[in-house]
Chain A
Amino acid sequence: MMLNRKNKVVAYLLVLPAAAMLAVFVLYPMILNISLSFKDYSMLRTTTKTVGLKNYITLLTDSRVWQAVQRTFVWTFINVAGALLIGLGAALLLSNGFKGSNIIKSIVLIPWVLPSVITGYIWALMLQEDAGVITYILKSLHIVASDFSWFRTGPLSMASAIMANIWRAFPFFTLMIFAKINTIPSDQIEAATLEGANSWQLFRFVTFPFIRPTVYTCTYLCFIWSFNAFDILKVMTNGGPAEMTTTMSIMVQREAFQFFEISNASTMSVIMFVLMISVILLFTLLSKLVRRVRK
């Protein structure tokens, strides 16, 4: 629409509240966060002084921080891979259009709508040592020993939280990929079927190339969500046992709101953000490179 001078001002005024909110409550905190990471600031002390890179050096030489970084990557990788595989599988399954697929389609997003804290609690209950229904079934079938517990060791605790998180994340993949599969031109499928393509070939050469962009986008989103995930881990393991499931977001939150070590928390969150952006950039570069090599 063409605007006269007065209306041009109105156009800016309409965007102003949104821009102001974002500037004050997103951009400014981000800058403040970086500046805090160069200071020695704790809520337990009254003095604040600039210390340069000291916080970064202290944290990056601390093995607990490195372990948290490692755990964050393990947690993120398994979550993304699991949600992608199950989500893609479910989408392909639904695309077969069998009886009852409509029912599943209408309920598939429900885990994604259930508040994540509740997801954490219900999985904690189902995996509970004595009376958790999943543990109980596994014990009755003698798949696990009778004194088995999910929450005694680090890897198993991590596995429990990952199960809950994948259960929450995979429906998003399913729905997005399924929506995309539905837009595959029918002549492509017919042509491939006529030429005698089997299901695998159909998937490999027709379906997958078509849905690839959606798969990439969902994977990217799921990576960001998992990397910063907090709710489920906090509720199910709270970083334990013995710090074995402490990821970076759990650590940042605890440094700030339990130990009041503001500078430590800020520095760690900056490190976290830089790592996240690096991974995204690395993958963007790699996928560009792959595309160029293919051509």
Chain B
Amino acid sequence: MKKNKQLSALAVNSRRSSAGHRAALIVFAFFLFVLIIFPFYWIILSSFKNFLEIFEVPIRFLPKRLDFTNYVEVFTEYHIGTYLINSVVITISTVLITTTISTLASFSLTRLNFKGGRAFVKFLQMSQMFPVVVILVPLYLMCTRMGLVGTKSSLILPYVAVQIPVSIILLSTYFVDIPKEIEEAALIDGCSLFQMFSRIMLPLATSGIVAVSIYTFIQVWQEFLIASSFVRKSIHYTLTVGLSTFKGEFINWGGLMATSVIIAIPAMILFTMSQDFFINRLAGSVKE
């Protein structure tokens, strides 16, 4: 209600403005719309074009036909199926491990006041900003020493560590929202700490846990720096690294774009499912 009032105040302001002003607004808005959407359209359009059509001049802005050859070929002629399985296994494992570890930690950090908790949160906020490039080399050496190179663990372990800080910070915003009274009532009723966590806190924080898992999924799904550095053999490629296999003497743009669509779809679906989280929580938890 309050929000509506504020919006209308801004709208009133714009209603007073001249017709020219409004026309300019529409033009800018249209330009913005095209700027955001066009590259997506171009990915999809190009994924339906064969090798010759990609380089056809004058350029066609509409598809001639819906030709799924590229989508079939990336599985038969290239090894996108293998990369897809690698990506799915790595991303899902990372999300499960990260979310479990982070849920426990954020429950403890927000609900059980213990010594050092504040300092740990500060440390998390700092490490959240930590650039991966700076630890890339030593991480690789560690993986070599532990004999992990070429295994999925060599990616999963660094991913989990890199995702934990953000995950805990975001999850904490959900745990903090649970009213203290509920917790007190549970304790009076004789709940143990474990029962309070599993029967009361977890169900109440479920929507948050799902949203944060989705955030982690989107981040890990598109990771490129670590994956392209650590993975040596092509059977271990993830999808983002696998895109480079379309580069030969010529670039197979059609296949590359078809694969891009395949990579983008899960991220887009998950994002649409949790748009509220992205728009409200993420904006709220970016600290000032």
Contacts and interface: CB of A to CB of B under 8 A. Distances in A.
Contact of A122 (B32, B39, B113, B268): B39
Contact of B142 (A29, A90, A131): A29
A61 interface: no
A115 B37 contact: no
B231 to A, nearest CB: 10
A89 B288 CA distance: 21
B57 A26 contact: no
A245 interface: no
Interface residues of A, number: 100
Contacts of B130: 26
A10 B7 CA distance: 47
Contacts of B280: 179
Given A22-B161, A26-B161, A125 B36 contact: no
Nearest to A23: B161
Interface residues of B, number: 102
Contacts of A30: 134-135, 138
A65 interface: no
Given A25-B158, A116-B222, A121-B260, A253 B37 contact: no
Interface in B1-37: 3, 5-14, 16-17, 22, 25-26, 28-29, 32-33, 35-37
Given A10-B193, A109-B271, A131-B54, A122 B260 contact: yes
A185 B162 CA distance: 38
Contacts of B120: 15, 19
A256 B54 contact: no
Contacts of B240: 115, 117
Given A186-B5, A216-B288, A269 B137 contact: yes
A18 B137 contact: no
A123 interface: yes
Contact of B193 (A7, A108, A190): A7
B133 A100 contact: no
Given A118-B222, A273-B131, 17 more contacts: A7-B112, A17-B105, A18-B164, A24-B161, A33-B135, A93-B32, A97-B11, A106-B275, A113-B218, A118-B43, A118-B243, A122-B42, A131-B57, A228-B132, A230-B224, A253-B229, A266-B137
5 contacts: A17-B105, A36-B138, A93-B28, A110-B40, A136-B57
Interface of B: 3, 5-14, 16-17, 22, 25-26, 28-29, 32-33, 35-37, 39-40, 42-43, 46, 54-59, 101-102, 104-105, 107-109, 111-114, 117, 120, 123, 127, 129-142, 157-158, 160-162, 164-165, 168, 183, 187, 193, 218, 221-222, 224-225, 228-229, 240, 243, 253, 256-257, 260, 263-264, 267-268, 271, 275, 278-280, 282-284, 286-288
Considering the complex of A and B, which 7 residue pairs feature the smallest CB-CB distances, nearest first?
Answer: A115-B222, A25-B161, A14-B108, A29-B138, A186-B9, A29-B135, A32-B138
